[in-house]
Structures are given as C-alpha cells and as structure tokens.
Structure 1
C-alpha cells in the first residue's frame, strides 16, 4: 500500500467497528427465524473474512478487489438488520 492509499483503510475500520456489532446483535437477539438470521449473518462475516484475506495479499489487483469487496460487505452488514427487520 502506498502512502497515498494508507488513509483509505480508516473508513474501512470505522465501518467495521459500527457494522460488526450491529450484525452480531441482530444475529443473536433479532426477531424472526433464527436459522435464517444465522445463515445470512455468518455468510456475510465469512465473505468479509475472504475480502480481508484478499486485501492483505501482495497482488495489487487482489488488494483492490478485497478493499472494494470489504466496503460493500460492511455496508450490506450494516443494512441487513434494517432490510430483514420483520421478514426473516
């Protein structure tokens, strides 16, 4: 990572600190079918873990893909409890 892109990781970390607790609270204390909630939540966490592995790879293209995928997954993790509030 260059010095110019070094500051781009801070929004990713802030989004992680906000979205992970929201998703985990929804996973374990949300309303609706617990099996479906856990399937959705743990699959999002697994996809985020894969994105982090790609983000810390040495290949430039995989680094960019992991960074963008991390942002998308974290935003989805933040919005999932709102979208599936009463339907799951």
Structure 2
C-alpha cells in the first residue's frame, strides 16, 4: 500500500513538473527531477531510506540550480522605450 501511494505521488509530481510555463522552465524542472532521481538512488545505495530522502532532496536542489544556470546563458536584460524590462537573447 505504501509503495503504491508513493508511486502515485511521484507520478503526479512528474506530471506537474512538465506543465511549466516556458521551455526554459520545463528544462529546469527536468534537471531537478533528474537530480532528485540520481540523488535518491545514490543516497539509497549508501544510507538506506533516510539516505535516499536526503539524497533526493540535495540532488533535486542541485539539478534545479544547474538547470536554471543553463537556461539563462546567452540571455540579456533590455529596457524598452516605456521603461519596462524584458529578457531576450544577447545581440
């Protein structure tokens, strides 16, 4: 019963992570999920259940940070004539 509930929760989280607004957000979410999966596997192999939970948390955080840095490369902040700021590819 516990495994079934955890599988439903994981499936729901995966589905919600792909519903991000932009392609960059989807990429960042993908890095986070990949990091959490790898961290959970490594933590589980080294420290059992508690290690898997900690590894997944740290791996997910590291994945999100890497994904966010990857998606912002080559982007610059510009200001339009009305004073609004926007982000676009650097020229």
The answer to whether TM tops 0.5 is: no
**Structure with the largest fraction of strand:** 2
Q: Normalization by structure 1: what TM-score?
A: 0.43
Structure of greater relative contact order (alpha carbons < 8 Å, 6+ residues apart): 1
Instruction: Please identify the structure whose Cα radius of gyration is greater.
Output: 2
Q: Normalization by structure 2: what TM-score?
A: 0.42
